[in-house]
Each structure stands twice: as structure tokens, then as C-alpha cells.
Amino acid sequence: GVAMWRGAAAGLLCLAAAWLWGRGFEPRARLLSAAELRRYRGAPGEPGLYLALLGRVFDVERGRKHYGPGGAYSGLAGRDATRAFASGDFTPAGLVDNVSGLSPPELLSIHGWLSFYSNNYEPVGKLVGRFYDENGVPTETLREVEAAIEEALQFQAESEQKKQQFPPCNSEWSSAKGTRFWCSRQSGGVHRDWAGVPRKLYSPGSQGSRCVCVRSSGPPWGHTDSSQHSDRGDLDNPHLEQYKGCHPLAEQCIL
């Protein structure tokens, strides 16, 4: 999905997430059973058109052409198919509410859809089952999913910051010249007022390295006072390694 919350501080993310979980679902909200929800698939004679996501039920009548009978997303109607929002699997096997084993990007996709429905459709209530008990109280499963989404949001905010600090290099390969890495003021899609020099970045816990552009002057990332530091930007960061056979301050490298 689109990188939401770009560059926002992790603290704001937590607030936003907390607001989203709490929004519009007061204890008086209607409680539906799975059997009741199945009657809301928008067919003639049925009472309406609903879908559920993480146990929250939304009235999607306004999106009838998508969710109603014959619509591209009609499989989502009348049930909680949370997993399909992450996997894109709209077969009967995929239209389920079991969310165990999803990756952080998949969890972020669910979070994105939840804010989409919260902002665009009317909340109806809660579905009794995997995510809410018969009193409408969140289950342990829902609490675990929410905690995992919080973590994914925080990780995403940190990755965005990392990308500002160490934007990816441009690279191209040709059989004649080999691989060329170079840095520009837009490389990696990060617009900035410095180009930087190519370095290998090793991330703790992951195999291999990737090429990033490193600021070579001024104080290190996160420090504003250059009098306390050498004027070498992030060149002394312990996770970086020079490319052998390249001038340490060259803006491009051919290997």
C-alpha cells in the first residue's frame, strides 16, 4: 500500500492509532452475530449492505456498486473477511477473519483499510466472534492484532526516518561497465539539499548490505551542534563500509 503517515513522528502515530481504535464505537453500539451479518449482502429483500473489518461493522450501502451483488468486492459483504484485505485473496479460502501470521506490511494494509472505512462509511456496531465477545468487549485476539499494528506503524515511522538519513543510491548495471552506484539530491525518492556519497549499509539482523547515500559534511544525524563533532556528516557511522576501489568522497562508484 501507499506509505501512509510519511515521516510522521511515532508518537503522533500512536495517538492517531488510539483515536482510530476508539472512534465511533461506544459501548451502546449494536452487536451482531455472524448469522445476522450474513443477511446484509444487499440482495433484494435483504435489510441492507454491511461488511466487517476486525470485527467492526460498517454500512457500505453507498458503495453498492463495489460491494453489492455482482460488484467486484461482493465477497466482502455480509461477513468479516479481514484477511482478504491484507492478502488480496478473494477465494472462499481467503475471505476469512483469521489474521494470524500476517507480516507488518499486511497489518499496515488492514490499518489503512480500517481508517478508510472509518472515514467514509457509517459504523454500525460490532460482530460477536473472533474480535469481540458477546458483551462487545475486545477479545485477546483483537488486542494482540492492535498491538502488532501499533508496532508496524512505529517501525514504519522509524524506517521513514532511516530513509531520510540514508537515502538509497541510484544504481545501474551494464555488461561492459559493471555496476555503477551514484548519489544525487533526489536518489531513493528522498528530495534533499545534499547528494551524499555511496556507502554499503549493514542493518543489524539482516543479511547483506545495500547502497545508501551518506552526508559527508556537517554534524552527524540528530546533532545540530557541529562544534562537538568532526565535520564529516554520517561517514563515521559504525554500520557503514566504503566500497573498495572507490575514492572515499566520490559521488559515484563503478565496480
Encode pLDDT of 171-188 as tens digits.
Answer: 898 888 888 999 999 998
Give every CB contact of residue 171 below 8 A, 6+ residues apart in sequence: 179, 180, 181, 182, 211
In the chain, where are the structural domains located?
A: 1-161, 166-254
Mean pLDDT of the chain: 87
Q: What are phi and psi of 115, to 5 degrees?
A: -70, -35
Report the pLDDT averaged over residues 197-215: 87
Assessment of whether the complete model's pTM goes beyond 0.75:
no
- What CATH architecture does domain 1-161 belong to? Roll (3.10)
Q: Which residues of the chain form beta strands (DSSP E)? A: 30-32, 50-53, 56-59, 122-127, 170-174, 178-182, 197-202, 209-214, 240-241, 252-254
User: What are 220-241's pLDDT values in tens digits?
Assistant: 887 776 566 678 899 999 999 9
**How confident is residue 7, by pLDDT bands cut at 50, 70 and 90?**
very low
